[in-house]
Amino acid sequence: MVLKLRAFKAIDDPDSCAKFVKGHGDILTSIGVNKVTSSTPTWVDNPGTFVLVVEDPETKAVLGGARVDTSYGNGKLPISDATAYMDPKVDDYIAKEAVKGTGEICGLWNSRKVAGMGFGSLFLTRAAVTISHAVGVNSLFALCAPYTVATAETFGYGIIKDLGNDGTFYYPKLDLLATAMLLPDTLLIENAAELEKERVFSLRNDPGQFFEEESRRRKVPIQYDLGIKA
């Protein structure tokens, strides 16, 4: 089955946003998390939110997704709501980056149907980095679960060790750990792995490409549809 990875502005597709909210909520509930700041569905009305969804092209079911929330939408980022009460320096960091246009990849999830295919971290992160510069985001924050830190680093993210406890926070609940990370330059992604640089730059030049990706020694056919502007 070929899966589609599509980008759109949240306010342009309320039906897909509703599917995203339900799918993300179901996954959070299944792991005992009743609420995280990035799941609050007020983002569906934010003109500064851009959505990525993994879709079954035949049924239109949304099987996973992520968002790029921008600082110019409502002036805040989810990482602030999640962590600034624990460390006020978070807002200072965001304000410094907002001068040049910043955002955050957040709300990343995948359903069990596509578990193990790489959407939960790799392919959705790749898509988020691909569209970021086009939507006015020149740096990109992330609040990463432990198993996604290494993936973020392959795109040039670094841990913000000045925040929290050497970059970490207990979030979204006390027995879960999240790491604050920043990609400082979404245009050149100088510190990214060469493979990811090539893929991101290729998708920026032609956002409608088909790739037969490889994840955990399995082939994952993906039709990308990432043509989007602010």
Does position 98 have pLDDT exceeding 80, yes or no?
yes
To the question of domain 3-225 being in CATH 3.40.630.30, the answer is yes
Q: Give the pLDDT mean for 195-202.
A: 96
Q: What is the DSSP string of 7-18?
A: EEEGGG-HHHHH
Instruction: Dump pLDDT digits (tens) for 145-170.
Output: 998 999 999 999 999 999 999 999 99
Report the C-alpha gap between 97 and 82 in whole angstroms: 18
Mean pLDDT score of the chain: 90
Predicted local distance difference test score (pLDDT) of residue 196: 95
The percent of residues above 70 in pLDDT, for the chain, comes to: 93
Report the C-alpha gap between 55 and 194 in whole angstroms: 28
The answer to whether residues 148 and 109 touch, using CB atoms and an 8 Å cutoff, is: no
Query: What residues form DSSP beta bridges with 214?
Result: 219
The percent of residues above 90 in pLDDT, for the chain, comes to: 72
Instruction: Dump pLDDT digits (tens) for 125-139.
Output: 999 999 998 999 999
Strands (E), the chain: 3-9, 49-55, 62-70, 102-110, 139-144, 158-159, 168-170, 177-183, 210-215, 218-225
pTM of this structure: 0.92
Q: Give the pLDDT mean for 63-91.
A: 89
Delimit the domains of the chain by residue range: 3-225
Q: Give the pLDDT mean for 10-21.
A: 95
Predicted local distance difference test score (pLDDT) of residue 40: 59
Instruction: Dump pLDDT digits (tens) for 24-55.
Output: 888 877 766 665 555 557 899 999 999 999 99
Task: Identify the three-state secondary structure at position 66.
Answer: strand
Predicted local distance difference test score (pLDDT) of residue 73: 59
